[in-house]
Amino acid sequence: MYKGEKDMALPSFIGPRWVEIDLDAVKFNVAQIKKLLSPETKLMAVVKADGYGFGAVEVSKAALEAGADMLGVTTIDEGLELREMEVEAPILVFTPFMPEEKDVFINYNFTATVGSYAAAETLLKENLEHSLKVHIKVNTGMNRLGMEPKEAVEFVSRVYGNPFIEVEGIYTHFAVTPRKNRNFVEKQFKTFMEVVSSLEDKGYSIPIKHVCSSAALLDMPHMHMDMVRVGTLIYGQYPFGYEKIIPLKDPWKVKAKIIHVKKVFPGEKIGYGGDFTVKKAVRIGIIPVGYADSFGTAPEMNPKNFLDLLKMIIKKIFAYFGIRAGMPLVKLADLPLRVLGRIGMQFTAVELPDENADVGSIVSVFIRRTNSSSRLPRVYISEKRVIGIRVPWGKRSCIQRQGEYS
Q: Is 405 an annotated catalytic residue?
A: no
The strand ranges marked E within 138-217 are 165-171, 208-212
The rounded distance, in Å, linking the Cα atoms of 138 and 116 is 9
Check 190, 272, 316, 395 and give the catalytic one: 272
**Cα first-last separation, the chain:** 6
Distance between CA atoms of 196 and 208, rounded to whole angstroms?
11
Amino acid at 236: G
CA 285 to chain centre: 31
Closest CA to 27 of 226, 235, 227: 235
Buried b (16+ CB within 10 A) or exposed e, 231-270: bbbbbbbbbeebeeeeebeebbebbbbbeebeebeeeeeb
Contact predicate 234/240, CB 8 Å: no
Report how far Cα 172 is from the mean position of its chain's Cα atoms: 20
Characterize 61-81 residue by residue with b for buried, 16 or more Cβ atoms within 10 angstroms of its Cβ, and e for exposed: bbbbebebbbbbbeebebbeb
Rounded Cα–Cα distance for residues 190 and 148 (Å): 14
Largest CA distance in the chain: 81
Phi, psi dihedrals of residue 219, rounded to the nearest 5°:
-95, -25
CB count within 10 Å of CB 352 equals 23
Residue 235 appears among annotated catalytic residues = no
| Beta strand pairing call for 42-46 and 227-230 | parallel
Q: Of 48, 61, 102, 255, which one is the catalytic site residue?
A: 48
List, in sequence order, the alpha helices (H) in 243-401: 306-320
| CA distance readout (Å), 387 to 187, 216, 278 | 46, 34, 44
Active centre residues (catalytic): 48, 272
